[in-house]
Amino acid sequence: MLVRLTKAVLRHRRAVIVSWLLVGLLGIYASVALPDRLTALTSVPGSQSAAANDVLSSRFGENDDGSFTIVYAFKNATPAQITTMQRELTDAVSVLPHARVLQQRALAGTLFAFVSTDMSLIDAANATAALRAALRQHGLTGALVTGPPALEHDVRPVLADDLRRGSALAVVIALLLLTLALGWGFALIVPFAVAAGTVSAALSIMLVAAHFFTMVLYIPNVIELIGLGLAIDYSLLVVHRFRRELAATADDRNPVHTASETALLRTMATAGRTVALAGLTAAAGLSVLFLIPVPFVRSLGAAGLVVPALAVCAALTLQPVLLSLLGERGVTPRGIRGLLASESAASSWRAMAALVQRHPRRTLVAGLLALAVMATPAAWLRVAPASLTSIPANLESARGVAYVSARIGPGGITPHSVIIDLRQPGAARSAAAEAARQRFAAALSKLPESFAAVTDTNTLFIDPTGQYQRFLIVGRHGFEDAATQALVTTIRAYDLTRFGYPAEARVIVGGAPAQGVDFLERVYGSFPWLVLASLLLAYLLMVRAFRSRVLPLIAVLLNLMSVAAAVGVVSLVFRFGIGAALIGAQRTDYLESWSLVFLFAMLFGLSMDYQVFLVSRIREARDSGLAMAEAVAEALAQTGAVITLAAITFAGALTGLIFGHIAGLQELGVGLGVGVLIDATIVRVLILPGAFMLLGRES
């Protein structure tokens, strides 16, 4: 099939080149237009927090996701001056359509204000600059605007800057490593062309998807940096195999094809098949993210899914055309020949294979122990839906978070919205409901985690139909903290009849803390199924590809162990701070839940690549009649150098994530980089060969 595909793309070289050039132009446009359609929204459809936001939107004309917190420090102000400041703040807020000040409080030389709007998170983020300008115009210079919209507004340019610097760094590292691997010559163009096509196509698809679905802010960074590394990986394997096939077919006399065409067809039948299987396995691993019914996670899954699929598409269409145009002279290195052209590299890997052959049990045990040690810190792993402290501290919104946290606690940024639904219009204004409201507010204010409980009888807290009562609760801890999550659970479990509410009344808890609780429950409630689906899909794909039940089982189990080791290293760096200073990361008690879920799905798919590369060569050697030990030694010798360099190149591309300023992306970059290197070294060099040699033969 791949041979027929290769012949077809070679017959239509011009059409293939033009098509990918058009994709490249679309990618340039998408890279500019896509960021404006992205958001950090973590809503959970069908959850209680989503129901609360629906009530706020339909009955109160507000959107929790579009709410701001404003803090303004003053000195020695009289009560009259404070009243003036409050009036000016209210006037400044009117620059936002339908915005309302829910609460203003002067405390310890600071004016705190909670502002609600009916805008979506994206629209409110876009309006942040206007709000800040209005505050300055009304004499409140130095006021800090924070909250979810301001945080999103401030993070966008940070992500864009990280992406620019990260992409430049990743390209330079990739160029150096590819020169080391392939030598200096025109062949270096091919991996970058494949990467450019992959990234451009992925960005274009995401731009279309963003018109219909919620798409997360981090998508461009994920696509461009991971796409660069993965596409170069696949391309490097094909270019290396093409060179070997050129050497092997140099003396062939084929009346139909030239030596170059023959080598290319053989390359695509072997390395092309391996790349297709690796990409399919990676895409299958990422497709299981769609089992998690959370738009935030699904959008990342969509981005992760299209990258390996499009990398394979570019490697199987654009790359053969480029190699055919370059021919033997074009891919031959000039001056610097590269490690992959050196016989000493293959000799070194044969020596490594010989060592494993002599001591298969010891190498297997040593590798397993190394993975176990690295996985151990994962036992202390704690996750949060996100973290307000994981963004650069110099941003205005981050300074606002720090200011509020120091004076009233981190909960001041993300208050709880508690709604009582009395099920009947007008019931909320009855004397009995009013007495129940006061008792309920008193109970909420006495909770140890509650800093303040705000309610009233005006339209800010009782909707125009009189069916809903509303309470604003300011907690003492951040929304990622366990105490905050416990507060959400406590309020949701209240028996309202003890406060005098009728039996049919129900409590609905919304706001960022409740959204975080629902996010964790929905994501990690689906996580076991995600793991099982990933294991099963990868196993079935490799069973079909390798015509064996044992080889795929070993590969899947070892891949699972390498993922655990990578998560352990992430915990070691970010939870315990070991090595965090080297990458400019800060220690945090909580790791972001989305990054760990995405890390598992992507790493399980991507790190499987290197095992697929090795097992494919073992399968080829076995088919040629070699015994298992000989097949493993031959596979290591043939793939050792190229896979190691491919893994290092991929990890190099991830430095754009690792040295960024967003903790979740740093966690993802460290986990992916470490996981890929673990799989390409410990697993592939020690554990997998040792296991196969002890196995002796397939069953």
Distance CA 649, CA 659 (A): 16
| Range among 155-169, 421-435, 671-685 with highest mean pLDDT value | 421-435
pLDDT top residue among 427 and 692: 427
Distance CA 354, CA 629 (A): 9
pLDDT for 255 beyond 60: no
In the chain, % of residues over pLDDT 70: 92
- Two structure tokens written together for 592: 């972001």
- Least confident interval from 284-298, 390-404, 514-528, 623-637: 623-637
Distance CA 302, CA 33 (A): 18
H helix runs in 571-662, sequence order:
593-606, 608-623, 628-653, 655-658
Contact status, residue 165 vs residue 152, Cβ threshold 8 Å: no
Question: Residue by residue, what is the 3-state secondary structure of 656-684?
Answer: HHHCCCCHHHHHHHHHHHHHHHHHHHHHH
| Range among 37-46, 480-489, 641-650 with highest mean pLDDT value | 480-489
Contact status, residue 63 vs residue 149, Cβ threshold 8 Å: no
Residue with structure tokens 């924070």?
146
Distance CA 511, CA 522 (A): 16
Contact status, residue 70 vs residue 89, Cβ threshold 8 Å: yes
pLDDT for 98 beyond 70: yes
Nearest in space to 635 (alpha carbons), one of 337, 270, 316, 261: 270
Mean pLDDT of the chain: 83
Q: pLDDT (tens digit, 9 = 90+) per residue, 466-485?
A: 999 999 898 888 777 888 88
The residue type of 684 is: R
pLDDT for 342 beyond 70: no
Contact status, residue 383 vs residue 596, Cβ threshold 8 Å: yes
pLDDT for 26 beyond 50: yes
H helix runs in 94-223, sequence order:
121-126, 128-137, 148-182, 189-210, 219-221
Domains of the chain: 1-37+156-337 (1.20.1640.10), 64-146 (3.30.70.60), 396-516 (3.30.70)
C-alpha distances in Å from residue 598, one per residue of 115, 225, 697: 33, 15, 36
The residue-averaged pLDDT of 450-462 equals 86
Residue with structure tokens 């102000």?
77
Nearest in space to 592 (alpha carbons), one of 260, 71, 76, 216: 216
Distance CA 143, CA 87 (A): 14
pLDDT for 696 beyond 70: no
Strands (E), 457-598: 468-475, 506-511, 591-592
pLDDT for 427 beyond 70: yes
pLDDT of residue 697: 45
pLDDT of residue 546: 64
Contact status, residue 649 vs residue 232, Cβ threshold 8 Å: yes
Find how far residue 63's CA is from the centre of its chain: 26
Could you tell me the end-to-end alpha-carbon distance of the chain, in angstroms, rounded to an integer? 28
